[in-house]
Amino acid sequence: MKNKMIWNEEDFLKTYKGTETFVTKEHAYYALFMELLEDEDLLAHIRFANNVLGVPPLKTFVLYERDVLKKDVFRTPMTPAAKRGLGACFGYLYKFIYGGYGSEQCWFNDAPTGIKTASCFKKIP
């Protein structure tokens, strides 16, 4: 049996100051991320792409939602708060839930969303 991931919204908001707007006003993106946390298979693919291929989790998530599932949510420019908030979600996931990861900026340059960079997460030795 797989361990259920525990997302602590209160701790997330305290750790990543300024994400309150993302959680409340950019709720469509936050809700998509919460759905992702329930999909263990997709999380495993995102983690593989990050750990083995060096693809930022945010990039894999956006491309999967838009190009595979054909959702419209990532077809238009995102607000700066939405981009930062979604990036913070992945930061919290890798650094505090998975643990043992550091982050580095990677080029993404996604024209529809306006996302220029996203974090790749590397295991800290």
Per-residue pLDDT of 18-65, as tens digits, reads 999 999 998 899 999 999 999 999 999 999 999 999 999 999 999 999
Distance of CA 83 to the CA centre of its chain: 9
Q: Where are the domains of the chain?
A: 18-123
Q: What is the mean pLDDT of residues 90-118?
A: 96
Is residue 119 helix, strand or coil? Answer: strand
In contact, 62 and 69? CB cutoff 8 Å: no
How is residue 108 written in tokens?
A: 């993404």
Is this structure's pTM higher than 0.85? yes
Q: Distance between terminal CA atoms of the chain?
A: 28
pLDDT tens for each residue of 60-86:
999 999 999 999 999 999 999 999 999
4, pLDDT greater than 60: no
Alpha-carbon distance of 57 to 42, in angstroms, equals 11
